[in-house]
Each structure stands twice: as C-alpha cells, then as structure tokens.
Chain A
C-alpha cells in the first residue's frame, strides 16, 4: 500500500517535471523565434556631394575645438565602399500590434559636443525616453522643430555649460529636425519610428535586432535623399538581408 502510494507520487512528480521541462523548452523556442534580424548595407550611387566646411569663428570655444580638425556639414556621410552613414532603417509594415507595443527601456543620448550633434541622427521609438546632454563649455539651445499638428509639440530649452540633461520623448512617428539658434550650423535629427530600428554606421552597415519572424516592408530614410523601401521575409531565428542604394543627386 505504502509502496503503491510512493510509486504513484513518483509518477506524478515525474509527469510534473516533464511538463515543466516541456514548457521550458517550448518557451525557449518561442523566445528563439523572436531573435530574427534584418541586416544589410546602404550605399550611395554616384559621387558624394561636397560637404561644405563650417566657419565657427563667431564662437571662440567652437572654433578652438575644431582648430586641428575642421568641421563639415553632415547631410551626406559617405564611408568605405560608398556606404552611407546616418541612415535610419525601420519596419514600416508587417509588425503586429503586440510587437509595436514592446518598448525599449534604453535611454539613447543626444550630445552637444564641440558645437556639433553626436550622433547627427538619433533614432528612437515612439514614447521612448531620450536624453539631450551638453559636453560643451559654451551655451546651446536645443530646439526641435516637429509639426505640432502631428501631436509632437516643439519646445526650446537652454543648455548653458554644465546644464543638466533634458529628458523627453515624442508621441508620434516623425523625422524631426533639431537646431541650435546660437550656432546656426548645428543641425541634427530625431528619427521617431514605431517598432525595431537601426542606424547605419559610417560605412553604411546596419542590423535591426529582435525582429519576430514574418514578412515586412523595411524603410530606409536619409535626410537628403528621402526614403526607400524593400520587402523582407524573416525566418524564425534567422537573419534576413535588405540592401539599399540611394542615387546621388
């Protein structure tokens, strides 16, 4: 009798353990399924336009910071093999509402350094907090210019030397130009998109991480050349490729 009971107990616990293990395995599989990614390169076809040099002589701090390394406008950044930097890639079609609701808790930083914006283009998710910092010993004002009728409201805050960071977020997807009125050459972008995104490095390479399996439209946005799209299918746990080429004007 006693033996029978213990045998039954053993059987039940074995089943429980099995079920538990099974759930774990399935769970892992579900997790692994979310680990797909999209990568590729963005290139410029043609001669890169001349990026004019920036005269910072009106502000001695800025001028000194670039004494040995003259600053240039950054509208088109071309690297090795004609790769295009600062291109934002995001999934414009195909994501489920659930995927869109998954918010990153990372707080990307937009720095004002040597009177330029670093990075020049800061991509972020809708509703994601980002920080504007200053590393400079000269005063800036940080002045994004969204269209207020989209739901993104423009603001304008001073950042004198040593100012605390400004933490903000945006309500709707929009490519928002940022400027500093004190230093009229300063020009940057907040690229606000929905869902996973990536920005190309100086040689035009990118990888969008954490893409669930499915068929998508990927959009590449460049501030001077506009947007391009490509259709991509991501298999579970696999990497898909989408390359883009923008034509030099």
Chain B
C-alpha cells in the first residue's frame, strides 16, 4: 500500500516536472524532437543565388561564432550582450522576433535569405557585428538557414516581395537638384539635419524598439550606412526603412525615379569616397545650399 502511494507520488512529481519543463520552453525554443523534425524538413534550408544553405550545417558555427552575442536561444541575450551599453552599439539582434533592419522587402515583412546573407557578409558598421566574409558563401548560407529556426514567424509567414529598383539613370545636375527637393519635401532633415550631419531637431530623442537611444545616420563623417554603401543599398534603405529603428519606409511617398534623384543628392552630402565623385562635383558647380526648413513647400 505504502509502496503504491510512493509510486503514485513520484509519478505525479515526475509529470509535474515534465509539465514545468515543457511550459518553460519559450515559444521559440523547440523541443529536441521538434528541432529534429524541423531539421529534416525542407524548411531547414536557405537559398542564396544558386547556393543552398543547410540548417544542420549551420548549428555548429552558430554555437562557435554567434552564440556569444545572439545567445543560445537566439534572443540576442548572449553573455556579451550586457556589455552593449553605449547607445551607439545596438543590442544584438533578437532572432525570435525576426525584426530586421536590412531588408529588400517592405516594412513589416520578413527579409529574404539573400538579405540575411548580405548582412552576415557585410557586418554592421558602428556596431559589434563584424564582417563574416571569412566564411565561405556556403557557410554563410548555412547560418541563414539555422537562425530561421529561432522564430515561429518563419513557419507561418513568407518573406516579403522585394521592392522593384529601376536601373540607375545618368547623374545630371537636374537630378541632384530634384533630389534635394525630395529631401526637403520628405523632411529628412528632421532627424538627419539640413546638411546630413545627424543633428536635426528630432535627432536627440530618437529611440529604437527596445527604447534604447539611437543616432540618425551622419552622412558627413565618413561612416558607412549599416545596410550597405552602394547606390542600390542607399535606394533600398530609405524605401524599405530599417525595421526596429526610427527610420520609416518611404516607398509609398517617393516615386522610383525620384528615389534615384534622392540617392544622388545624399551622395553629395558624403565626403569624397569611392562612389560619389560626380555627385560632389555637380553639387559644387551648382553651389547647392542646405535646404531651408522654413521655406514654403515647393509644390
């Protein structure tokens, strides 16, 4: 009789412990069984150009190179994350939420595998995320496949449709001037300042989605944009916006051809670099003055 009660008690205890373990598992933390199931499914892959990434092959490099910041659960809470205290250094990305800055897709949608691959390759300027171009392309594609298992969103949502980028037109003085008009009309200066020095009236109060202070991009100090330095990257940055930050999407308010004009004007704000010789020269010849926020809007 006593043996029976003991058995009952211990089995009850065991079931409680099991239940607790299960409920403790966060939404994104798959059980070993679920993870195995997922790893054997077609979803556990990535497609970057003609390279197919495999999640299983990404698990080990993630543990070795990424876990320190992004954490075992992919929640951006690795052991190093507590040291990311300077406002300049954003917290490590939380893969469970799957909110990403650098996307070719509309705001509020998941990025493409290529977008994630490019971020790993490029690293994030002015952050603790280094360039991982020491990995082969296959290794980077494997990591893309692996990090996707951290968020349930990859199981229920598809990546957004990348925005269309028309071919870059020729840079002309008219276009640089028109770009400045777009800059004025969209009121980019509110955060980025009239000269692109990140000193607009709203710059000092900007916060990211974790309510951490965040700086607007300074075009004039030689920094590289976080989501890439090429003309196409800049086009994409303001059209899709950087989700998780104050930078909104402008795709509904800037027409594709106007967007190229804006790219040319933004280039002229940057110090001389490998990309902007022509824009700088045109702006110089035009004698472009910074926009005047108090000027009546040109309609």
A138 nearest in chain B by CB position:
B187
Distance in angstroms from A86 CB to nearest chain B CB is: 23
From B28, B202, B253, contact of A184 by CB (8 A): B202
Q: How many residues of B contact A (CB 8 A)?
A: 40
B252 touches A157 (CB 8 A): yes
Contact: B248 with A143, CB < 8 Å?
A: yes
Cα of A60 to Cα of B107 in the assembled complex, Å: 29
Which residue in B99, B185, B202, B246 is a CB contact (below 8 Å) of A148? Answer: B99
Q: Which of A84-122 contact B (CB under 8 A)?
A: none
Mark contacts of A151-166 with chain B using CB atoms, 8 A cut-off: 1 yes-contact digit, 0 otherwise: 1011111111101101
Contact A160 B186 (CB under 8 A): yes
Contact B97 A166 (CB under 8 A): no
Report if B278 contacts A (CB, 8 A).
Answer: no
| A182 in contact (CB, < 8 A) | yes
| Any B CB within 8 A of the CB of A209 | no
Closest chain B residue to A161, Cβ basis: B297
Given A156-B248, A158-B186, A166-B252 in contact, is the A184-B96 Cβ separation under 8 Å?
no
User: Chain B's nearest CB lies how many Å from the CB of A158?
Assistant: 4
Please tell me if the beta carbons of B187 and A160 are within 8 angstroms of each other in the complex. yes
Give the total of A residues in contact with B, Cβ under 8 Å. Answer: 29
B108 with A154: CB separation less than 8 A: yes
Which positions in A face B, CB cutoff 8 Å? 58-60, 137-139, 141-143, 145, 148-149, 151, 153-161, 163-164, 166, 181-184
Chain B interface (Cβ within 8 Å of chain A)?
Answer: 27-28, 96-99, 106-109, 151-153, 156-157, 185-187, 190-191, 201-202, 205-207, 209, 241, 243-250, 252-253, 293-294, 297
A-B contact pairs, 15 of them (CB 8 A): A137-B297, A141-B246, A142-B248, A149-B152, A154-B99, A154-B108, A155-B243, A156-B243, A156-B249, A157-B248, A158-B186, A160-B185, A164-B253, A181-B191, A181-B206
Known A-B contacts: A157-B248, A159-B253. Give 6 more (CB < 8 A).
A58-B201, A148-B98, A154-B99, A154-B244, A160-B185, A183-B202
